Amino acid sequence: MPRILDGVAIAAAIKQEVAEEVKKLAAQGIRPGLAVILVGNDAGSEIYVRGKAQTCTELGLYSEVLTPPANISTQEMLGLVDQLNRRDEIDGILIQLPVPAHMDTKALLDAIDPTKDVDGFHPMNVGRLLAGRPALAPCTPAGVIEILKRCEIPINGKHAVVVGRSDIVGKPTAMLLLHENATVTITHSKTQDLGAITRQADILVAAIGRPGFITSEMVKPGATLIDVGINRINDRAEFNRFFAGNAKREAAFAKNGSVLVGDIDPKAFELSGAYTPVPGGVGKLTIAMLMANTVRAAQMRRAKHAGSCAHA
């Protein structure tokens, strides 16, 4: 039987560690603060942001949610980011993506102070990650590494194949695996004979955003499968393709009219040595890693400030 890598339990452990770090900082009169900018009224984004604010409260962090209207200009948003950059009680700044189409996303992300960039998207943090220097790493890729390490899945010397080359997940995941001494292959939708490459993977990370894209024929028996995808299925034919005969999923589909599936066909999990389920896998770690990044940003900023004061 393949081993299920429980993202819920790992996220809970990370949150507990974060709460303990927050208590230590509180003893020094420091309370890490996270500011989230949510533009407009995207229902999915609102749910994510509520979850982030609630987790901050649970762990003792200060949080602030700013909700400018959907028609705000890029220039006005840059002014808002600048204000947050200047506020000392704000250690982390996050712009909830996607923003409305008229806005310049890259300009907004580039405007965030790199020391407060808890999403790890600023070019300076991307460069530091590439160079193997201390940096705020993107939350989902960092969560992938935490799952592997905490579940004692060997990475050193293993062949890791990442399917997907996004700046947010695919590329940074590949870089973090490389830093853990894996031999890393990055593949994507244009890769020729993709299955021939994925079948070589000891660790296969699927982050391509297509439901059930990785099939059983593409998996090496005994491999560790890390499914980053979260896709909502509301079509009966597509549901049957993945979950025919699954009573638990059938009941969920009947009740909600939809279910979640990852980028890996659930039937492929049966061949694996270990896998992350969807839901209950990588997705659960993203907010936990955001909290960890916020605390780390607070510690790094203050250590840098103390160092500069010492040299003054």
User: What is the biggest distance separating any 2 CA atoms in the chain, rounded to whole angstroms?
Assistant: 69
Domain ranges of the chain: 23-113, 139-284
What is the per-residue pLDDT for 312?
Answer: 46
For domain 23-113, give the CATH superfamily.
Answer: Leucine Dehydrogenase, chain A, domain 1 (3.40.50.10860)
What is the per-residue pLDDT for 237?
Answer: 93
Which segments of 93-169 does DSSP mark as H helices, in order?
A: 105-111, 123-130, 139-150
User: Between residues 311 and 18, which one has the greater pLDDT?
Assistant: 18
* 198: Cα within 13 Å, side-chain hemisphere: 28
Whether 23 shows a pLDDT value over 90: the answer reads yes
Catalytic residues: 52, 96, 119
Please choose, from the candidates 166, 204, 207, 209, the residue with its C-alpha nearest in 3D space to the C-alpha of residue 182: 204
What is the per-residue pLDDT for 309?
Answer: 47
**Cis-peptide into 154, omega within 30 deg:** no
Q: Judge whether 23-113 and 139-284 match in fold.
A: yes
What are 205-234's pLDDT values in tens digits?
Answer: 999 999 999 999 999 999 999 999 999 999
What is the per-residue pLDDT for 42?
Answer: 81
**Predicted structure pTM score:** 0.93
Say if domain 139-284 classifies as CATH 1.10.630.10.
no
What is the per-residue pLDDT for 71?
Answer: 95
Look up residue 28 and give its DSSP letter.
T
